[in-house]
Structure formats: C-alpha cells, structure tokens
Amino acid sequence: MQYTSLGRSALQVSRLCLGTMNFGMVTDQVASFGIMDAAIESGINFIDTADVYGGPQSPDMEKGYGISEEIIGRWLAQGERRDRIVLATKVYQPMGTGPNDRRLSAYHIRKACEDSLSRLQTDHIDLYQMHHVDRRTPWEEIWQAMELLVQQGKVIYVGSSNFAGWDIATAQSEAKARQFMGLVSEQSLYNLNARMIELEVAPACRHFGLGVIPWSPLGGGLLSGALRKATEGRRAEPRMQQQIERHRSQLEAYEALCEQLGEEPSNIALAWLLNNPIVTAAIIGPRTVEQLSGSLRTLEISLSDETLRRLDEIWPGPGGEAPKAYAW
C-alpha cells in the first residue's frame, strides 16, 4: 500500500480511501464487515462515511440515514480496529425533520457530532468534513463549534466537501484570523469526465495546503467499462444509458486505449487521479471484496506522458486553471 500526507497535515493515509455509502443500502452488514476486513488487511487505513449514508439519505424515510455509521460502529466494536484506521465522516445533510436538524449551525454541528460518535461507537472522529458549504451560517459560528470539538478531543482534523474555491479561501482566511488550522482536505466530484475543479478548487487547495479527495472517481460506472458492461448493474438504468450514448465516441476511444494498455478502465481512471499531486486519495466504493481487490491493481500502474496526453485528448478538461483557461 502507498501512503501520503492528508493535505498539509502530518497524518498519513492510504492512497485509496474506502467509501461506505453503499453500506446498508446495497451491501448488508456481513458483506460490509468482509470488505472492511479485507481493506485493512490490504493496508487501506482510510475509511470515509457520512451521517446520512446507508439509505435513501432522507430523514422522511424510516431508518433511511445513519445506517452506514452504525455498521462501521459495530465493526469497530469487535476490537483491535480503531487504531488501525483514519475515520472520516460528515455533517450538514438533514438528519431529522426539525428546523435545526441540518446545515452548519453550532447547534447542529454539536449534536450531529455526538450522534455520529454514538453510532460509530468511538470517542473521536479523525476527519470531520462539512458535507456542503452553508453560506447562511457565519464562519465565526462554524469555526467556534469546530474548535470546541477539537479542544474536547472529539475531532482531530476538519475537512470540507463540495466547496467552491472562494469558499475554501474564505474558510481559511477566517481560520487563520482565529489561529486555527482550519481545513486540511476537500472532497470534490472529480474524474476524467468531471474536471471542473481544475479551474479554481484544485488551485485553491494547492495554495492553502488541502488534500483533494475525489468522490465518484469512476463517474458512477461510466469509466469502468461502460460499453462492455452496458447491461450490468447501474449501467442498465435509463439515466446511465443516456450518459453512455452521450459519451459513446469518447468511451470507445477510452476503452480501446485501456485494452491497448492491458488494464481495466476503472484502474486507469483511478491511476489518472492518483497521478495528480494535489490528490491525496481516491474514494472507492466496492460492493464486494472482489471489487476491492481489483482496485488495488491501481497502485501498481504508472501512466506514461503519452498515455496522459491521450487521456487529455479523450476527456478534455476545462483548459487549465482560471483565468488562463478562458482569458489571457
């Protein structure tokens, strides 16, 4: 396994992060336990979840949230696991039907953290991530709440998710004024077919020392052999079929390149992300141990300059960083 620092922090995490959004939704507890056991045995020490994961992600659905954390908590309760992992979860999404059961008020941050700790059966969260920016809550309030959790030892590091570049800059400026470390990571949508963060989010992360943790690195299955497996799993759904048709010419070129390289498309997509110095770890969401094992091949792949150039041709980004991408 390969390890790297989480952003500018000294914390070492594996280059592959085990995402657990499927736990409790499409993967039952027994299978989830097997995946986590296999992950730590392979050297993966980074596990990502969220308070809302595990169901339809709606508090209006009976037991539609918190299940992923509960499964991880029961796994941790078996002992000799907690100190082997870096545990990340998130706060922001609705966790109830009340007006204060969501977003980033100090009130909700405190309660959400306590609830996550209870479900996870642990006394601290290694990386507590804001699942989305909340522009209605002042940063003084957000940082006050996060600082208190850090002082209490309930949270070690703070991260963001789905932030714009200027949100990251604002957050870090306010944190610096309070002499607080602020954010160490940003979890963003990033893959070969979704490269908009290259405009401003990635440069902001580089400037402020945040590690990027891409979510949906395979584009919801689009980049994992969609043409070859067009009738399997989520790829058979109407929305994905529309995506496949929209990108058919790109997919044909991409999958032909992967075949030429002798590698699975999913592993090339992950290797492309890990080739970027700003990326700390890519989140993988295996539904089986076999899928997890297949992803480990990614760490052995080295992409040549010619392959990187060809991938840019097939899946062009926004043209570089702002403003050079669109102005002089």
Per-residue pLDDT 10s for the chain (328 aa) are 999 999 999 999 999 999 999 999 899 999 999 999 999 999 999 999 999 998 765 555 455 579 999 999 999 999 999 999 999 999 999 999 899 999 999 999 999 999 999 999 999 999 999 999 999 999 999 999 999 999 999 999 999 999 999 999 999 999 999 999 999 999 999 999 999 999 999 999 999 999 999 999 999 999 999 998 766 666 677 888 898 999 999 999 999 999 999 999 999 999 999 999 999 999 999 999 999 999 999 999 999 999 999 999 999 999 999 999 999 8
Cα distances (angstroms) measured from residue 160 to each of 101, 139, 146, 214, 265: 19, 13, 12, 12, 29
Predicted confidence at residue 22, as pLDDT, reads 93
Amino acid at 192: L
CATH superfamily entry for domain 3-224+264-303? NADP-dependent oxidoreductase domain (3.20.20.100)
Of 45, 85, 89, nearest to 66 (Cα)?
89
Of 116, 101, 98, nearest to 51 (Cα)?
116
How many C-beta atoms lie closer than 10 Å to residue 151's C-beta? 9
Token pair for 79 = 């002992």
How many C-beta atoms lie closer than 10 Å to residue 224's C-beta? 23
Taking 3-state DSSP, the helix, strand and coil percentages for the chain, each rounded to the nearest 5, stand at 45, 15, 40
User: In terms of DSSP H, where are the helices of 77-138?
Assistant: 106-120
Helix, coil or strand: residue 22: coil
Q: Give the residue numbers annotated as catalytic, written as ranges.
A: 53
Domain boundaries along the sequence of the chain:
3-224+264-303
Three-state secondary structure of 192-222: CCECHHHCCHHHHHHHHCCEEEEECCCHHHC
Of 128, 123, 45, nearest to 86 (Cα)?
45
